[in-house]
Structure 1
Amino acid sequence: MRERSCALVVVGNEILSGKVQDSNAYFAARELRKIGVALSRIATIPDELDLIAGEVAYCSRNFDFVITSGGVGPTHDDLTMEGVARAFKRRLVMNPVLEALVREHFRERSLDAGLRMAQVPEGAVLNDAGDIRFPTVQIENVYVLPGIPQLFEAKLRGLSSRFATDPYFMRAIYLSANEGAIAEHLNECMRNFPELMLGSYPRIGDPDYRVKLTLESKNAEYLERAFRHLMRLLPADAVVKTE
């Protein structure tokens, strides 16, 4: 089964200070999972060049691809593009396609600031962003996305076909028992199916169930065998429903 790993680097003092609630990480995790990609790391870092460069360089080396969120506008604290350039030891250069878009979009009084958005790491390529006018900048295996959720989500969807790999299959079991009562059954299942991704999620105050189990694999047949095995282990009267 084909595996692909991704890291998400969220850039912004506003996220770390609680001024803005980040939704891009949650969206990315769900969307990437749908197309078979494992989001293996989420790093939230401030608007500091060295920290951006260091995190991007680390993630680029250790994951199949990297997505950044935030820090790509026209203001003084939009440092992501320069940080990515520093990660690859490249200089920033004016991209003529982006420059033309900026000149068309920005009024004369704000043009100088807007032209910051046309500077990209040397050697970067542009990817079509669907309905979004500004294309997505890619340098090596790093894709630089804006932090505004509506734009981030649209651009990630536009890129999904190039990221997609073999999908995950999942089954779910809802239980009235608590985790302590089923822990040994879960351990036994994992001993027999070590490649299974098995998650246990307690639910407090829900009258319908107390624990939700998720079983995942990229091998549908392996998943079904693990599911049937676990169902035989669990107390029948504790199973509320399955999916």
Structure 2
Amino acid sequence: MKAEPNENTRYPTAGIIIIGNEILSGKVEDSNSPYLCKELRFLGVDVKRLVTIPDEINVIGNHVFEYSQDYTWVFTTGGVGPTHDDVTIEGVAQGFDVEIEESEQMIQVLEDYYGDRLNDAHRRMAIIPHGAELLQLPSMRSPQLKFRNVFVFPGIPELVRNRFSSLKELFQSGKIYLRQIFLNTEEGYIADALDSTCSEFPELMLGSYPALWNKDYRVKLTLESRTETYLEQALEFLTSKIPEENIIRVE
């Protein structure tokens, strides 16, 4: 008998917005989105969309508002520093049609850090959208900005990792189980097996990834499910459709 997943369960989703002209121009390589995608997947959150956009207030506002309506959580990175192109806060505020304001809490954080060196440029980092929350993070000097379901991160990868690690228990949503099959054949020879597996197990997340120059295998198949029994039955079904001599190993 085939195991059935819980169709009544609604799982959390996420949208990721990478903000920065430096990413779009190729000056800086984005490492934040791969990190967030992997971490959210591990936590059981389905990342539905990922976009990289320029440092433009209207574009930021439109995307953040749209994503906020469509997904459980939204994560932005970039554009929260003290310079002219750091306009993410203004974009978020415009997208939700709220004012920006100077946070006394953030001013205190900046004064504690900069002391007499605090200037007007630094004070830009104390601006937040009206109604935003400032979440205190363990072992971190400055709090995390959250506006409704939007988490606004800086663009510096080390800071993104530190901040997300401090928050990730908020996003724990169950486990997504994974099995992998490594093959010595081409995708064209297993397409029918994949089609029949998807038909038999419609809730299975099945991926096929060719590796043209890999000496170990030619195709890697990934099978994922939130139900372990369902996954194992799908794995058994799929492997029965592939000639044994084409299967290098199953993990």
Question: What range is the shorter-chain TM-score in?
Answer: over 0.9
2:37 equivalent to 1:29: yes
> Runs (4+) of structure 1 moved beyond 6 Å?
none
CA displacement, residues 169-220 of structure 1 (integer Å, 9 cap, x when unaligned)? 0100000011001011000111100110000000011111000000001011
2:90 equivalent to 1:57: no
2:231 equivalent to 1:223: yes
Q: How does 1:1-243 map to 2 (within 5 A)?
A: 1-106=9-114, 108-243=116-251
* Alpha-carbon distance, 1:128 to partner: 2.3
- Which amino acid in structure 1 is aligned with residue 110 of structure 2? V
* Alpha-carbon distance, 1:107 to partner: 5.2
Once residues 90 and 115 of structure 2 are traced to their aligned partners in structure 1, the CA distance between those partners, rounded to angstroms, is 24
Number of residues of Structure 1 aligned to a counterpart in Structure 2: 243
- Which amino acid in structure 2 is aligned with residue 26 of structure 1? P
Once residues 206 and 165 of structure 1 are traced to their aligned partners in structure 2, the CA distance between those partners, rounded to angstroms, is 34
CA displacement, residues 135-181 of structure 1 (integer Å, 9 cap, x when unaligned)? 11011100100000000111111111111102100100000011001
* Alpha-carbon distance, 1:16 to partner: 0.2
Q: Which moved more, 1:103-112 or 1:169-178?
A: 103-112
Percent of counterpart pairs with the same letter? 42
Once residues 110 and 151 of structure 1 are traced to their aligned partners in structure 2, the CA distance between those partners, rounded to angstroms, is 21
Once residues 130 and 33 of structure 1 are traced to their aligned partners in structure 2, the CA distance between those partners, rounded to angstroms, is 23
3-state SS of 1:153 partner: helix
**TM-score computed with the length of structure 2 as normaliser:** 0.94
3-state SS of 2:232 partner: helix
Q: For the Cα contact (< 8 Å) 1:11–1:69, is it kept in 2?
A: yes
Structure 2: stretches of 5+ with no match in the other structure: 1-8
Structure 1: stretches of 5+ with no match in the other structure: none
* Alpha-carbon distance, 1:129 to partner: 2.6
Q: For the Cα contact (< 8 Å) 1:129–1:154, is it kept in 2?
A: no
* Alpha-carbon distance, 1:110 to partner: 4.7
Once residues 14 and 190 of structure 2 are traced to their aligned partners in structure 1, the CA distance between those partners, rounded to angstroms, is 32
Query: RMSD over aligned Cα, in angstroms?
Result: 1.0
3-state SS of 1:209 partner: coil
Once residues 128 and 170 of structure 1 are traced to their aligned partners in structure 2, the CA distance between those partners, rounded to angstroms, is 34
**TM-score computed with the length of structure 1 as normaliser:** 0.97
* Alpha-carbon distance, 1:132 to partner: 2.3
